[in-house]
Amino acid sequence: MSAKLDEDQQELSRTRKPEAVGEMFTRIAPRYDLMNRVMTFGFDSLWRARMAKAACANLPQSGARVIDIACGSGESVFALRRNMAARRLKNAEITGVDFSDGMLALARQKSARDAVNRCGIVENFAKADCAALPFPDSTFNAATIAFGFRNFSDRKKCLLELCRVLKEGGKICILEVSRAPGILSAVQDFLMEYPIPAIAGIFGCDKKSYKYLAETTRNFPVNSELCRLIESAGFSGAISRPMAFGAVALTCAVKEKRR
């Protein structure tokens, strides 16, 4: 490994500490939604809707509880709520969890503005680390993570914790960047390394933060490795569905039932 690459890996390891990542997302919170739209050409809303549909597919008609990890500005929570409302679920509750104060403040503001459209579905937001969730065992029917899993410093520990708080048969859905196949991988690297941080600067965002996000993308495991990691934490039937020419994937699995 070259000295430069070794330095990059050390910096990535340091900045992936929960407190550092939380501070970074608080810095970029004001323009986070805008940058998501720009980076994904507006497709992030469609991808979140697909994740919500997958997560909500087998929820009970009454009393469903879903947790959204690394909820950020709340966009996935709202996608879940829209899906639950369309299914006319009763007494449903969604809990968004993040460790960035800035992101949670933004999510709560957006939720309050849209309170009349909740259709009776409760939305809560809490500050917590995925590796130590403040919820009892077997609390939730489903769990989602959208574009946050790659930032976790201990992914296996987070998966074990999610397995703990999910009910038996509960579903986990992870929407995340993926390594595009073939020549598209080089295109993906180029976009993440140069144009996206530059665009972030144009919109008044912290270019260094988006450089960091490019590094987490390059260091994220391929879909097959991610499926094995998920299953090693107590889930079964992990399947990845590539989207956006393989640059994004939705990976879902189910908590194994006790024999």
Whether residue 245 contacts residue 180, with contact meaning beta carbons closer than 8 Å, is answered with yes
User: Taking 70 as the threshold, does the pLDDT of residue 221 lie above it?
Assistant: yes
Instruction: Give the per-residue pLDDT at 14.
Output: 45
In this structure, is residue 67 part of a structural domain?
yes
* Domain-embedded: residue 186: no
Quick one: which of 53, 233, 63, 79 has its CA closest to 152?
Answer: 233
Please give the single-letter amino acid code of residue 69: I
More confident residue, 208 or 242: 242
Rg (C-alpha) for the chain, rounded Å, is 18
Q: For residue 188, how many C-alpha atoms fall within 13 Å in the half-sphere facing its CB?
A: 22
Q: Is residue 103 part of a domain?
A: yes
State the residue range of the domain holding 19: 3-181+221-255
CATH number of domain containing 52: 3.40.50.150
Give the mean pLDDT of the chain: 84
Asked if residue 197 belongs to a domain, the reply is no
What's the CA gap between 49 and 162, in Å, rounded?
A: 21
Question: Mean pLDDT, to the nearest integer, of 153-157?
Answer: 92
Is the pLDDT score of 37 beyond 80? no
Give the H or E element holding residue 93: strand 93-98
Is residue 27 one of the residues assigned to a domain?
A: yes
Q: Which tens digit of pLDDT belongs to each residue from 55-88?
A: 999 999 999 999 999 999 999 999 999 999 999 9
177 lies in a domain? yes
Q: Which residue has the higher pLDDT, 180 or 161?
A: 161
Question: How far apart, in whole angstroms, are the C-alpha atoms of residue 66 and residue 239?
Answer: 20
> What pLDDT is stored for residue 60 in this prediction?
96
| pLDDT band, residue 39 (cuts 50/70/90) | confident
- Count of structural domains, the chain: 1
The residue ranking higher by pLDDT, 56 or 17, is 56
Check pLDDT > 60 for residue 16. Answer: no
pLDDT of 135 > 70? The answer is yes
pLDDT digits (tens, 9 = 90+) for 88-110: 999 999 999 998 999 999 999 99
Residue 198 belongs to some domain of the structure: no
Domain annotation covers residue 161: yes
